[in-house]
Chains A and B, each alone.
Chain A
Amino acid sequence: MIKAILIFSNQGKPWLSKFYQPYSEDTQQQIIGETFHLVSKRDENVCNFLEGGLLIGRSDNKLIYRHYATLYFVFYVDSSESELGIFDLIQVFVETLDKCFENVCELDLIFHVDKVHNILVEMVMGGMVLETNMNEIVTQIDTQNKLEKSEYLIPHFDNHDRE
């Protein structure tokens, strides 16, 4: 089972955090901080799997991460998941983000946090892998975009909407 998914920048700014097990808000922030601390010190080309931090529980949990340019993608999983399977799932997630945002960059994640969540929702549900077929995920997201467009015909970039 996937326990948590985190995305943060090289500076440790969290752009996405999704917990599939209940943790208090304070604990969530501590986990994010600790994870950044664990991962950011590591060289490139070392192992992408490590024992989880103390907060999320050391014994059974593993941290699997990938580093892309300015972003860290971190998955916390228990022993029922295949390490390489999750490692590839992160790649699928990123490739999907890339397709949905047309060359995804850090700013896309920041300004469209809801979208990123929606993409994740198509892939992982309650901590289990829901869909790994990228085309299927992208189709779902496209459908959502169309729905959204049809629901808001009025343009929203007019001046009254600056706050």
Chain B
Amino acid sequence: MPAVSKGDGMRGLAVFISDIRNCKSKEAEIKRINKELANIRSKFKGDKALDGYSKKKYVCKLLFIFLLGHDIDFGHMEAVNLLSSNRYTEKQIGYLFISVLVNSNSELIRLINNAIKNDLASRNPTFMGLALHCIANVGSREMAEAFAGEVPKILVAGDTMDSVKQSAALCLLRLYRTSPDLVPMGDWTSRVVHLLNDQHLGVVTAATSLITTLAQKNPEEFKTSVSLAVSRLSRIVTSASTDLQDYTYYFVPAPWLSVKLLRLLQCYPPPEDPAVRGRLTECLETILNKAQEPPKSKKVQHSNAKNAVLFEAISLIIHHDSEPNLLVRACNQLGQFLQHRETNLRYLALESMCTLASSEFSHEAVKTHIDTVINALKTERDVSVRQRAVDLLYAMCDRSNAQQIVAEMLSYLETADYSIREEIVLKVAILAEKYAVDYAWYVDTILNLIRIAGDYVSEEVWYRVIQIVINRDDVQGYAAKTVFEALQAPACHENLVKVGGYILGEFGNLIAGDPRSSPLVQFNLLHSKFHLCSVPTRALLLSTYIKFVNLFPEVKTTIQDVLRSDSQLKNADVELQQRAVEYLRLSTVASTDILATVLEEMPPFPERESSILAKLKKKKGPSTVTDLEDTKRERSVDVNGGPEPAPASTSAASTPSPSADLLGLGAAPAAPAGPPPSSGGGLLVDVFSDSASAVAPLAPGSEDNFARFVCKNNGVLFENQLLQIGLKSEFRQNLGRMFIFYGNKTSTQFLNFTPTLICPDDLQSRLNLQTKPVDPTVDGGAQVQQVVNIECVSDFTEAPVLNIQFRYGGTFQNVSVQLPITLNKFFQPTEMSSQDFFQRWKQLSNPQQEVQNIFKAKHPMDTEITKAKIIGFGSALLEEVDPNPANFVGAGIIHTKTTQIGCLLRLEPNLQAQMYRLTLRTSKETVSQRLCELLSQQF
């Protein structure tokens, strides 16, 4: 009996387990277990006090029964009693039972805590170890409350045994995870950092885990750990394979500790101290070099451990993203692994390369492996590896290889595992849109997606293709032709019917000239699918039909017959019935003009972030971009809404009647600057009664001129044949002064010259503008000056409008321009160190605080110009803060009368794609948004 000879002797337990194993059926097993449970219950309840040994045995049996998946609803109390036993074995089994079976909200916690308290105070290292384990395993809030103060003391006490220190470190880590608020940083933190120098490598490993977690939340507190970790790592990496004795694993010195140290270093940017940085670079080079050396052992464990360290080193190199030389070496190393015979290494190489692909320095190097990755997609036997290959292809995709990658993904989709199809569909749809130069290709790709994997094409995908077709004239005819052809297939996916129905309803006329796709053919084709479709699709098709009635009068009667049939008019579905009734009626009563108006082609959709991308990202709430656009449009309607003496604007918005418009103006009081707000209403009448005309729409090009002043303060704001307006301004904290120069370019006098500053409703309370009227006569060739005193009360988005009205040779002139007083003018630059910057950056990590914009470069991407613009924008330009020297980071404070708002910004250029990514983080959402909007226009 070998098992028994190993020193334990619970014969009864062995018998019970054998019985269970001999059970021929599940029923027999349950019967045997119920018998045992009854037996144990009676023993626990019995009058005879059980000895420790019996308790232990029964608890063990319960544990076994629990592991088989049966509920255990008693025995907890007995287990708790075992905790106070003086016998190690009984105590141990008690703790085991509790850590497996007691969930954190048990009522027994108080009793358990009591026992733990005694064991922690016992100074018996074995008992202390058991108690710390129990805390770490249960890890409840009650336990944190009881022990969060005690455990750090044990951890840093000079006389604590190594094994207890190890346990205390991990126990503290667990408590910090459950209840960070209960583990305050304190004196102990610096002593914990010094555990990195401990003699005992087990202690160092546990301490490194603890510090890594703590440093993520409190980087400043633990930043001294960087240099200690580097020197520890350096000692390990350069040690001979036998130096570390028991911590050498198959000739690799302390692999787990090395991995942990490399993880810890990933919490920080590259070390600032050149000596530390140099030492770290040396370590990383040594690790990369060792990968090329012949293995010290043929055992797979040797290469596994070696590679675990290597992959972590590569992760750190990618994280720092600052040493092009190391990045390229890392990429080459991963390239070797891509073809390694070990599947695990291929998997990890694909995974690491994904992150490498986003680095400026190595993107090109990653792209060279495209054939290997495509091959992996085709030949790997393992779906998890293929999934990584898909991810990597997505990450390495750019304009140069998009067509190839999309084609490969599409062909893989035909055989792809069901579990990853939806994700591939989203990725293909995003890549096709992002890199489409040719929109015919885009339409083909999406239709292929629907054909191959229609079930996995979510609504976002087919909405998006329709948005794009509607917004792009050049592709509409092609799209109509292509969907028409695709619908010919005897069995096509319902998503295709939706896309086809929508597109033909809008653009079917573009292909109706061809007799093979005449209106009637189109209609019959769509209607042949009608009865196979679900209710929402049928509803969509009914709308297509009524659109056909407008597009093709020749099929009107056919369609009316269909609408009139019982299956439509008396359809059980209310929505379908209603559409049929209403459309039928509309087609009968409405004149062709009315039909044409009601059923006009859809107007273009507002440009917005791809809904598909949003689905993939999903982290932010409703798209902020859309909201911004809406408000912008509302504002321009307000400003443009005058009775327009000037030629009608091309604005697509329907023009309301003049009377309604004047009301609109009154509702958004356009008070001139200068007089106190109380008299604003009266003055409004004065201004307008004088000229019998309202504010002109913004002068053409005004927007562009406005944008030019975001990063500078002086220049020409407006110029036409008569008038030039120049600006000079200066800002300090929340105050500013602007000099406006009006130049008469003609030789004739301007009469009744009246410049007026208009603040939209919302802006009035946020921005205080004071100015004096100017002389109403401006001589030919003369220049007059007006001073505006500015006070920023709180942050604002809109800009005031400067309206100038005057008479020139008997004609009335009316000009409006936006005055470039923008939020960033109240910036004060702030210099800070890299560490401060990243610490603050992390503090501003709420999703509302961050606004990001990815946009195409409108100007050549020149580093010096970019720097000048960021400085002109008002923030400090922080050098050597971002680990990637190609990026720009800035910091500053927006001063308003009511508050100060700290702002951090980061601009990441991507030369290759000619794109920028701009991220703004401030403590206020509206500020982040406005600054991001302003700065984005500058590049």
Cβ proximity bits A122-163 to B, threshold 8 Å, 1 near / 0 not: 000111111111111000100111011101100111000111
- State how many angstroms separate the Cβ of A146 from the closest Cβ of chain B: 8
List the A side residues contacting B381 at CB < 8 Å.
Answer: 43, 46
Partner of A84, one of B53, B166, B170, B307: B307
Residues from chain A with a CB closer than 8 A to the CB of B104 are: 22
Q: Are A51 and B136 CB-contacts (below 8 A) given A82-B308, A162-B11? A: no
A156 & B53 in contact (Cβ 8 Å cutoff): yes
CB atoms of A14 and B60 under 8 A apart: no
Q: Which residues B376-423 have CB closer than 8 A to chain A?
A: 381-382, 384-385, 387
User: Does A37 touch B at the CB level, under 8 Å?
Assistant: no
- Chain A residues, Cβ within 8 Å of B100: 18, 117
* Alpha-carbon gap, A7 to B21, bound state (A): 17
Contacts of B382 in A (CB 8 A): 42-43, 46-47
- CB contacts (< 8 Å) of A32 on chain B: these are 69
Contact partners of A25 in chain B: CB under 8 A: 66, 71
A128 with B209: CB separation less than 8 A: yes
Task: Report yes or no: B53 in contact with A125, Cβ–Cβ below 8 A.
Answer: no
B304 and A87: CB pair below 8 A?
yes
CA distance A18 to B136 in the complex (A): 13
CA distance A50 to B87 in the complex (A): 43
Q: Is the CB of B166 within 8 A of A131?
A: yes
A68 within 8 A of B: no
CB distance from B792 to the nearest CB of A (A): 43
| Cβ-closest chain A residue relative to B39 | A163
**Pairwise interchain contact A131-B348, C-beta atoms closer than 8 A:** no
B263 at the interface (CB under 8 A from A): yes
Task: Out of A92, A112, A126, name the residue touching B173 (CB < 8 Å).
Answer: A126
Contact A147–B88 (Cβ < 8 Å): yes
Residues from chain A with a CB closer than 8 A to the CB of B6 are 101-102, 112, 145
Confirm or deny: B256 has a beta carbon within 8 angstroms of a beta carbon on chain A.
yes
| A71 contacts B by Cβ under 8 Å | no
Q: Mark B83-100, 1 if CB is under 8 A from A, else 0.
A: 000011100110010001
- A118 CB contacts on chain B under 8 angstroms: 92, 96
* Residue pair A162, B12 in contact (C-beta under 8 Å): yes
B170 touches A125 (CB 8 A): yes
Among B200-208, B469-477, B911-919, the stretch that binds chain A is B200-208
Q: Say yes or no: A45 contacts B343, CB within 8 Å.
A: yes
Q: Do A133 and B247 contact each other (CB < 8 Å), given the known contacts A85-B256, A113-B60, A148-B7?
A: yes
**B10 proximal to A (CB < 8 A):** yes
What chain B residues lie within 8 Å of A148 (beta carbons)?
7-8, 88-89
A40: interface (CB < 8 Å) = no
With A46-B381, A118-B96 given, is the CB distance from A29 to B69 under 8 Å? yes
Q: How near does chain A come to B14, taking the closest CB pair, in angstroms?
A: 6
Contact present for A113 and B64 (CB under 8 Å) = yes
B742 at the interface (CB under 8 A from A): no
Name the contact of A163 in the complex, choosing from B12, B174, B346, B385 (C-beta under 8 A): B12
Assuming the contacts A29-B69, A87-B304, A132-B247, asked whether A51 and B384 have C-beta atoms less than 8 A apart, the reply is yes
- Contact, CB under 8 Å: B8 / A126: no
Smallest Cβ distance from B109 to chain A, in angstroms? Answer: 13
* Residues A111 and B344 in contact in the complex (CB < 8 Å), given A88-B301, A131-B166, A151-B89: no
* In the complex, chain A residues whose CB is within 8 Å of the CB of B64: 113
In the bound complex, CA of A86 to CA of B68 (Å): 26
- Evaluate contact between B15 and A111: CB separation under 8 angstroms: no
B161 CB to nearest A CB, Å: 12
Which B residues touch A151, using CB under 8 A? 87-89
CA distance A108 to B382 in the complex (A): 33
Chain A residues closer than 8 Å to B513, beta-carbon distance: none
Contact A126 B384, CB 8 Å, known A89-B256, A157-B4: no
Flag if B263 contacts A115 (CB, 8 Å): no
From B256, B346, B347, name the one whose CB has the most chain A CB atoms within 10 angstroms: B256
Chain A nearest CB: distance from B766 CB in Å?
Answer: 41
Is B246 a contact of A135 with CB atoms below 8 Å? Answer: yes
Task: Using known A-B contacts A84-B305, A84-B311, determine if residue A128 contacts B71 with beta carbons closer than 8 Å.
Answer: no
Within 8 Å CB of A102, what residues of B? Answer: 2, 6
Evaluate contact between B67 and A15: CB separation under 8 angstroms: yes
Contact of A20 among B137, B249, B305, B344 (CB under 8 A): B137
Q: Are A111 and B259 in contact (CB under 8 A)?
A: no
A144 to B163, CA, bound (A): 14
Q: Is A55 an interface residue (CB 8 A)?
A: no
A107: Cβ under 8 A from any B Cβ: yes
Inter-chain contacts of A20 with B (CB < 8 A):
137
Tell me the complex Cα distance, A114–B90, Å.
12
Q: Does B103 make an interface contact (CB < 8 A)? A: yes
Q: B89 near A110 (CB under 8 angstroms)?
A: no
**Separation of A131 and B203 alpha carbons in the complex (Å):** 9
B171 touches A84 (CB 8 A): no
Q: Does A34 contact B (CB under 8 A)?
A: no
Q: By the criterion CB–CB under 8 Å, are A84 and B344 in contact? A: yes
Complex contacts, A85 vs chain B, CB 8 Å? 255-256, 259, 308, 312
| B39 close to A133 (CB less than 8 A) | no
CB of B7 within 8 A of CB of A145, answer yes
Q: Are A108 and B301 in contact (CB under 8 A)?
A: no
Which of B6, B15, B206, B387 has the largest count of A CB atoms less than 10 A from its CB?
B6
Known A85-B256, A125-B167, A133-B247: A111·B3 in contact at CB below 8 Å: yes
Q: Is the CB of A84 within 8 A of B308?
A: yes
Give per-residue flags for B118-161: 1 if the beta carbon is below 8 A from chain A beta carbons, else 0: 00000000100000110011010000000000000000000000
CB of B347 within 8 A of CB of A49, answer yes
* A163: nearest chain-B partner, CB-CB: B12
Q: Mark A22-49, 1 if CB is under 8 A from B, else 0.
A: 1011000100100000000011011111
Question: Told that A125-B132, A126-B139, A133-B202 touch, could you supply 11 new A-B pairs with CB distance under 8 A?
Answer: A43-B381, A49-B348, A51-B387, A80-B212, A84-B308, A114-B60, A121-B96, A132-B202, A132-B205, A148-B8, A161-B57
Q: A-B pairs with the 3 shortest C-beta distances? A: A126-B136, A84-B308, A156-B9
Sample 21 A-B pairs with CB under 8 A, ordered by A number. Answer: A14-B69, A16-B67, A18-B100, A46-B385, A47-B347, A50-B384, A84-B305, A84-B348, A89-B256, A108-B3, A111-B17, A126-B136, A128-B170, A133-B201, A136-B202, A140-B163, A147-B89, A151-B87, A151-B88, A161-B10, A163-B16
